[in-house]
Amino acid sequence: MSNDSLDPRVNRLKLGDANAVIKVEEGENWNVYEVFHQEKRGAHHEHVGCVHAPDPQLALVFAKEQFARRKKCVNLWVVRSADILAFDVEDEDMFANNLEKNYRDASGFKVMEKINKFKQSK
Amino acid sequence: MISNAALTDLIIKMADDELIQGHRNSEWTGLGPVMEEDIAFSSMAQDKIGHAWALYRILHENLGGEDPDRFAFMRPESAFKCSHLVEMPNGGYDFSLMRHFLFDHAETVRYESLQESSYEPFQQLSKKLKGELKYHTLHANAFILQLSNASEEGYARMQTALNDTIALAAGIFEPSAAHEETLITEKVYPGEKALYNRWLDRIYPVLVKASLNLPDMKTVAPVYGGRQGFHTTHLAPLLKEMGEVFNLDTEASW
């Protein structure tokens, strides 16, 4: 069976018999890279999306036009998505009680009084 | 005082190359190999047309030239001074990428030299375009290396593309019999011969990294003629298509 995909990456897989083992050769399929955008020097790099690319260099080349074409940008990072370590979805319960622990909020500190007192004393 | 005729000739050659190359590359829009590359290549094609527009504006504002749109879309084929390289149909992506690589390095050495031009508008424009051209050549180099080092087929196709484009690309540097000496003496730019040598110095290290063989340039006869208004059969249909909408109503305001 021949397949007529417009995507060469699909055609390279030589999909035939449904039961046949599909072998992916090294370098045949592209990686996904996460893209981080920096708006000005010293600012945080913020995650903006991802690109497909065969290597990090081309990921940067693609990221520049995908994500830094219109808005202000001074730098970009790309990181292979597979290299990012994340919690599992079911571990979300670790964060469940965060909202109750409001004593950890910085808003609990009453500093304005002290600041005003200090200003008056000057 | 720099000769206006010599300046005009140089600007038209540069601008027509940018316009036609930009139009050719824009023909890939929607047909690129992957979405990311489609966007990148289309965006660079727009940049090229922007370069052409900036040059036509210099003609218009400083040298008594026509309105940029009318100049771009209403001239007869024989008034165009683009090189044959940029007229060629896109062919496969291998051909288009190799042309992009050779053209953009040629463009880069030209604009770099213009940063020290005695002609003020050239200085300003070349400084403005510096970053754009840096990206264009970064993109081109990355692709040439990637495809040449990827597989036997990729390597063979890039080598064939290089063999097919090198004489055409050398034709970018066709000197003007009438104006070349004046432009060099007046320090407008260093001349085609000097730019050609700088261009070879730029492309050679990339080709070596890609293990591609640059043909012996002494045996390569540059394809000249475009700068004198002689063109391939591919230019006329391109101009017709490019100006189709504009020429429906040349007085319309946009």
Tens of each residue's pLDDT in chain B, 254 residues: 688 999 999 999 999 999 999 999 999 999 998 899 999 999 999 999 999 999 999 999 999 999 999 999 999 999 999 999 999 999 999 999 999 999 999 999 999 999 999 999 999 999 999 999 999 999 999 999 999 998 899 999 999 999 999 999 999 999 999 999 999 999 999 999 999 999 999 999 999 999 999 999 999 999 999 999 999 999 999 999 999 999 999 888 87
Q: Which CATH class is domain A8-121?
A: alpha beta
Q: Which residues of A touch B44 (CB under 8 A)?
A: 65
Among B35, B40, B150, whose Cβ lies nearest the Cβ of A61?
B40
CA distance to A83, A95, B17, B128, B171, per residue, from B83 (Å): 47, 64, 6, 24, 6
In which domain, by residue range, is B219 found?
4-248
- Of A31, A27, A47, A49, the residue nearest A39 (C-alpha): A47
Q: For residue A1, what pLDDT is reported? A: 44
Helices (H), chain B: 4-26, 35-62, 68-74, 84-87, 93-114, 120-150, 152-170, 180-185, 192-209, 235-242
Question: Does a structural domain hold residue B46?
Answer: yes
pLDDT in the model for residue B146: 93
pLDDT of A6 > 90? The answer is no
User: In Å, how far is B230's CA from the nearest CA of chain A?
Assistant: 36
Question: Strand, coil or helix: what is A52?
Answer: strand
| Domain of residue B174, CATH code | 1.20.1260.10
Q: What is the CA radius of gyration of chain A?
A: 25
* Residue B253 falls inside a structural domain: no
Which residue among A30, A54, A65 places its CB closest to the CB of B40? A65
| Number of structural domains found in chain B | 1
The number of C-beta contacts closer than 8 angstroms across A and B is 37
CA-based nearest distance A26→chain B, Å: 10
- Chain A residues with CB-CB distance to B43 below 8 A: 65, 69
